[in-house]
Amino acid sequence: MLLRSVSQHMKDQNWLAVWLDFVIVVVGVFIGIQVANWNELQNEQIEAQRTLNTALVDLVALREEISQTVVTHLDVAIAIDAFMNSMESDHEIPPEIARRVIQSAALVGVFPSTPAALDDLLVAVRLDLLGEDAMRDALRTLAEELEATESFLAENLKQYSAGIDGIYPYVSVNRTPGVKGRQFEVGAVDVDAMRSDHKTRIALTKLYIYHSNQHSAMQGVIDAIDLVFAEAHDVSER
């Protein structure tokens, strides 16, 4: 109908009317595009918030899992330190205590996988759609912490391997048939032989460093997750 009106106005050489029709068309197209863009932005914001909510739920589970591992590594580091102090003294070390310490020292920490929703949030979702600078910064900090921790813990395995190699000659091992890798069940520990070889202290120190590093690195991830939770709480309070 508008096209017919334009044609008629052109036939009548009513240029003012033609110009008004043109303006109406342009404004109508502009408004239509803006409405479409606004609707698309609204949908993207809703999806971003939905992904954030899912990521927050997953982060709760991730934090709980890491928290248990953090405590374990700290306890192992403390036990190794006490064991080394006992070895340097004249105190007798009960065989079962020695076995438990070496068994725990042989524990390899496995860093949990990053939740899929968090990956989606950091990769597939525009963080600017979340609307809060502090929240975006907290998420970026967490992403950087996760990446740095995974790289650091992979490098930290060198400490573990060197430590295990150093104490291995003084430990009897009960391996489970068919199980591969460095995990093993300690049968007995020759404490006297370890005391007579100064290299075993170096090996135990490396294991101590390994578990201390695991504890510190994973604690850093927990702190970054807590920062995200704090910002999410602040947003919900506004």
In a domain, 211, yes or no: yes
pLDDT band at 77 (very low <50, low <70, confident <90, very high): very high
The domain in which residue 226 lies consists of 61-237
The answer to the question of residue 71 being in a domain is yes
Would residue 166 count as lying in a domain? yes
> Is residue 44 domain-resident?
no
- Is the pLDDT at 133 greater than 90, yes or no? no
Contact yes or no for 56/121 (Cβ under 8 A): no
pLDDT score for 9? 46
Residue that has been written with the tokens 């205590």 in this structure: 97
Tell me, yes or no, whether 85 lies in a domain: yes
> Could you report the per-residue pLDDT of 27-65, keeping only the tens digit for each?
666 776 776 666 766 676 777 777 778 888 889 999 999
Is the pLDDT reported for residue 80 higher than 90? Answer: yes
Label residue 23 exposed, middle or buried (CB < 10 Å: 0-12, 13-18, 19+): exposed
Q: pLDDT, tens digit, for every residue of 214-226?
A: 999 999 999 999 9
The pair of three-digit structure tokens given for residue 170, joined into one six-digit string: 């003084």
Classify residue 168: in a domain, yes or no.
Answer: yes
Is the predicted pLDDT of residue 72 greater than 90, yes or no? yes
Structure tokens at 154: 């992979």
User: Has residue 5 been placed in a domain?
Assistant: no
Cα–Cα dist 70/212, whole Å: 9
8-22, 103-117, 125-139, 167-181: segment of lowest average pLDDT = 8-22
Q: What is the domain count for the chain?
A: 1
For a pLDDT cut of 70, what percent of the chain falls above it? Answer: 71
The answer to whether position 183 is within a domain reads yes
